[in-house]
Amino acid sequence: MQSKGLIKFLVVVVSIACLYSLSFTFVTRKVEREAAEYAKGDMAKEKAYLDSMAGEEVYNLGLAKFTYREAKAHELALGLDLKGGMNVTMEISLDELIKNLAGNPKDDKFNNALNTALQRSKSENKGVVDLFVDEYKASGTSTPLASFFASKDNSALIKATSSDNDVRTFLNREADNAIQNSYKVLRTRIDKFGVASPNIQIQQGTNRILIELPGVNDEARVRKLLQGSAKLEFYETHDNFQVYPLLESINQILASSIKASDAAANTIVAKDSTAQDSTTKDDDNLLANLGAAKNDKADSTTASSELAASNPLFAILNPATFIGENGQPSLMPGPMVGIANLKDTARVNEYLNRPEVKATIPGNLKLLWAVKPEQKSPNFLSLYAIKTSGTETGAVMTGDVITDARDNFDQQNRPVVSMDMNTEGARQWRRITAQAAQNREAIAIVLDGVVYSAPSVNEEIPNGSSQISGSFTIEDTKDLANVLKAGRLPTTAKIVEEAIVGPSLGQAAIDAGINSAVIGIVVVMIFMIAYYNRAGIAANIAVLFNVFFLMGILASLNAVLTLPGIAGIVLTMGTAVDANVLIYERIREELRLGKGIRQAIADGYKHAMPSILDSQITTFLVGLVLFFFGSGPILGFATTLMVGIVTSLFTSIFISRLIFEYMLNKDMKVSVAFPWSANTLQNANFQFIKKRKLFYIISAVAIVISLASIFTKGFTLGVDFKGGRTYTVRYDQPVNLEDVRKNLDQTFNSTTEVKTFGSENQVRVTTTYHIEETSDEADSEVLTKLNEGLSKITGNKYEILSSQKVGPSIATDIKDRAVWSAIFSILIIAAYILVRFRKWQYSAGAAIATIHDGIILLGLFSILDGIVPFSLDIDQHFVAAILTVLGYSVNDTVVVFDRIREDLSKSGSHSKKFGDIINHAINTTLSRTIITSLTVIFVLVVLFIFGGEVIRGFSFAILTGIVVATYSSIFLAAPAVHDLGKGKHISEEKPATPKVVTP
């Protein structure tokens, strides 16, 4: 074996890297177990404990140290279906944006074009902006489109003489800005909400933003938080010198108040009740005793007990100070009045909101936190003193006057932000900056109640064009520019898709996933040892390494582990042995030729390699399509599938080979079979080509039956394909489905779909009531009616475990993506096979087999829907399943094609009939095909039985699909190549004509 040392080195390096990646998960789980033990079921107490640990060091690797927050960012996160929480899709209202940019015109053709574009966008794979411009051009109007948008506010971006394409570019750019700015605003709001490991991403090519909030159970608050309009404001500020005396006074009030209360119940008050009152210290001594500015990174919890008792506010909020020339701490000029550890900000807010404290704070003062920690102090947040004016909000100016903002560089090449305002804004800005410049005061830029920047004003700015400078990074200036632009984009983000998973359902999913994974591993291992003897042990070690590498790589990629992701791991364990089966079957063939074990192993690996690579690459390509077209759990499945293929190849080819080399070097007996399994299908000589027409007829009949059911009975579409709302409900006792359905039909005054979901006391309810409406009011009305209908089952309490909402536009988009993903998968696979085998007949044969498998699987789901006791909805999970089946089908088919190509390359092959060569290829690979299919079927049966109700339909689709795919790869694909080639040889090169040598 060549490069043995390099392979060993790679195994060690990858193992260490995986251990490192997975170690963060172990660390965070340990902290969370401690939090649960401390809280004893009190969720608020548990959250407070974890918040307090956010900035604490929990992992020390010597050169690198990690806080709980940092470790959490590196852990293998659990998806909503495993942890519970909320998943929403926000859609940016681009029609509203277009109207506002045009000044809400009354022109009928403009509005009709926009309304038509909006309707078309729901059914066509095209953006609202492009459809709107096309519709307006087609309306036949003589009014230039640019005339609506060429206002004073937009003068720098669009002119009245601009072409329609210029308008298209302008609107697309503004739409992108709206999406990016909405993303920024939502990101900040979610971070403020305090969700652990949130996931937020823009759905590329759309105006949608996908958000996952694990562990969230206050859905109403989340909806309100996410759907509120962005509020950008400019405020004047107070100086630190003005506010410090007030903070000192608050500190004294709190000391007296807390001292008078039960000290033992307050975690801030020291156990030493003899602490002196802070009023005995003068200002300078107080600053010195607080240790201000000595170490900004020092944890506030290290303050002495006496200091904490005497100065409860200053024990957790360090005044904004610096060390003066005399070596003493002095108050820092500017609007920043303090800095606190992230874990203490909630306590500071609690103190400032106490009635006795609020009574002392002047009406023109607001204390607001910065949006994020300072770079130099990553665990600390700054507090700013904001001056409110006489306006309704107290702001001196709002963000709707900004016409443009961009990140830039000043003359010293330092990152800055350039900002332009409209005429009204420039007039206000001139007055505000003139007043602030007199005393070098700062103007705070506030979005959604947090301070993004508070730059000092050096001079009056007369024309509305400003440059904001500070200690910015390039990323900071980009963020600030986006924030400033958010003020001029008057559009809203609406929730168009929503899924809520209760923690009880999540725990059941975790248990089901773990059970299926463990049992799957055990089943595969037992079978491999039972069939392949000692070689099976080598394969099992490779499988264990495969699972370890797979989990480690997923953790390093910050992937989110979902229930379909666990299914992908289980499936990977089944397919991981495919490479080993290919190798072992080739080793058996080499042994039958009389070769020694060492040479047989070497040749077995060599000859199996093309089949292994071709079969795995085709499946990987399907995973790639799923990755780009899927979302949420399907994305997790695709990621797991692709990573699993890579790790399977590495472990099956290299690690198992290293084990064989070790056994041979130690003179250990290496066997690849038991006596009973040594000759399985060895002399198989089934006449597949001769009887191919019989199998064509069988397949044709199955396809006709399937198509008949598809077009007559149809399918039950999942909520993500048809839109609507779905709820999972659990009663205390078993219920009659017809009673539940009847009650809900009466309540909703429409047909309601009710199915058993797992046990007889659990049902899944789907309703299209108010399907076109996605507002909070509509959600509330549907939920009220649902509860009204469910409660009619008297004497049987119920609980709503989870819910999902999908708007019609989302459903249409998901269906379109599903169709395109299937088409792309077949085309990509066909293209790959064409490149590898260089004959179109191979591509066509594989395409025929995959299309056959897809139709049969669709037909089975149509025929069996309502007959089997579990859900067979056509949804995103089914799409993932059918594409996986197509990938497996080609995987199987390619192995046969590789053997055909190999046999054609042998000398004397052209003297044989092409049908005989194909027949021989199918027979010689039959053992591998059946063994691989059996291992996969074993793990899928485990997944189907133990995987839980959530993915039962998913696992059933793959299970039946594998059976159908095995049939098509044997009986259809290669025979189709024979008939497409008209029974003639389709080898790459014609045999050379032998030369006749005349003596």
pLDDT at 998: 39
| DSSP single-letter state for residue 390 | S
Question: What are 270-302's pLDDT values in tens digits?
Answer: 333 333 333 333 444 555 555 443 444 444 444
Question: What are 117-158's pLDDT values in tens digits?
Answer: 888 876 676 788 888 998 888 888 888 888 888 877 677 778
Contact 637, 880 (CB under 8 A): yes
Number of H helices, E strands in the chain: 34, 25
As given in the structure block, the two tokens for residue 381 are 């947040």
E-strand stretches of 710-837: 724-731, 753-757, 759-767, 798-806
Those residues whose C-beta lies under 8 Å from the C-beta of residue 802, and which sit 6 or more positions away, are 499, 500, 501, 502, 505, 727, 728
| DSSP single-letter state for residue 503 | H
Question: CA-to-CA distance for 691 and 918, rounded, in angstroms?
Answer: 13
Q: Which of 73-87, 197-211, 878-892, 912-926 has the highest mean pLDDT?
A: 912-926
Residue type, 732: D
Phi, psi values for residue 404, rounded to 5°: -160, 150
Question: CA-to-CA distance for 547 and 573, rounded, in angstroms?
Answer: 8
Quickly list DSSP for 915-969.
HHHHHHHHHHTHHHHHHHHHHHHHHHHHHHHHS-GGGHHHHHHHHHHHHHHHHHI
When pLDDT is averaged across residues 603-622 and rounded to a whole number, the result is 83
Task: Put residue 184 in one of left, alpha, beta given phi > 0 → left and psi -120 to 50 → alpha.
Answer: alpha
When pLDDT is averaged across residues 864-888 and rounded to a whole number, the result is 82
Those residues whose C-beta lies under 8 Å from the C-beta of residue 941, and which sit 6 or more positions away, are 959
Question: CA-to-CA distance for 563 and 80, rounded, in angstroms?
Answer: 9
Q: Is 502-668+687-712+813-980 CATH 1.20.810.10?
A: no
Task: Put residue 3 in one of left, alpha, beta given phi > 0 → left and psi -120 to 50 → alpha.
Answer: left
Whole-angstrom Cα Rg for the chain: 34
Taking 80 as the threshold, does the pLDDT of residue 785 lie above it?
yes
Start-end of CATH 3.30.70.3400 domains in the chain: 724-805
Question: CA-to-CA distance for 789 and 491, rounded, in angstroms?
Answer: 37
Euclidean distance between the first and final Cα of the chain, in Å? 48
List the beta bridge partners of residue 261.
none
pLDDT at 796: 86
Question: What are 24-72's pLDDT values in tens digits?
Answer: 999 998 998 898 888 887 777 877 788 778 778 889 887 788 888 788 8
> β-pairing, 77-78 with 560-561?
parallel
pLDDT at 490: 53
Task: Classify 106 as helix, strand or coil.
Answer: coil
Taking 70 as the threshold, does the pLDDT of residue 261 lie above it?
no
Alpha helices in 368-473 (DSSP H): 423-438
Taking 90 as the threshold, does the pLDDT of residue 562 lie above it?
no
Question: What are 353-407's pLDDT values in tens digits?
Answer: 888 888 999 988 999 998 888 767 777 889 999 998 866 678 888 887 888 888 8
Question: CA-to-CA distance for 378 and 366, rounded, in angstroms?
Answer: 24
Tell me what the pLDDT averaged over the chain comes to. Answer: 80
Could you say which of 1.10.3470.10, 3.30.460.80, 3.30.70.3400, 3.30.70.580 is the CATH number of the domain covering 724-805?
3.30.70.3400
Taking 90 as the threshold, does the pLDDT of residue 662 lie above it?
no
When pLDDT is averaged across residues 929-946 and rounded to a whole number, the result is 83
Pick the range with the lowest mean pLDDT from 95-104, 471-480, 700-709.
Answer: 471-480
Question: CA-to-CA distance for 123 and 580, rounded, in angstroms?
Answer: 47
As given in the structure block, the two tokens for residue 335 are 């609007």
| DSSP single-letter state for residue 296 | T
Sign of CA dihedral 306, 307, 312, 315: negative
Question: What are 466-516's pLDDT values in tens digits?
Answer: 888 777 788 778 777 777 776 555 567 777 777 777 766 667 777 777 787
Alpha helices in 400-502 (DSSP H): 423-438, 474-486
pLDDT at 488: 52
Question: CA-to-CA distance for 455 and 451, rounded, in angstroms?
Answer: 11
pLDDT at 863: 94
Taking 90 as the threshold, does the pLDDT of residue 855 lie above it?
yes
Burial of 941 (0-12, 13-18, 19+ CB in 10 A): middle
Contact 584, 938 (CB under 8 A): no
Q: Give the closest residue to 570 by CA, choosing from 942, 871, 961.
A: 942
> β-pairing, 317-319 with 208-214?
unpaired
Q: Which of 74-78, 338-342, 769-773, 929-933 has the highest mean pLDDT?
A: 338-342
Residue type, 555: A
- % of the chain exceeding 70 in pLDDT: 87
Question: What are 751-760's pLDDT values in tens digits?
Answer: 788 877 777 8
pLDDT at 139: 86
Pick the range with the lowest mean pLDDT from 231-240, 491-500, 858-867.
Answer: 491-500
Tokens 């007369």: give the residue: 462
Question: What are 434-455's pLDDT values in tens digits?
Answer: 888 887 888 998 877 888 888 8
Phi, psi values for residue 49, rounded to 5°: -65, -45
As given in the structure block, the two tokens for residue 137 are 């051009």
Higher pLDDT pick, 777 / 596: 596
As given in the structure block, the two tokens for residue 451 are 């301070």
Question: CA-to-CA distance for 863 and 704, rounded, in angstroms?
Answer: 12
Start-end of CATH 1.20.1640.10 domains in the chain: 502-668+687-712+813-980
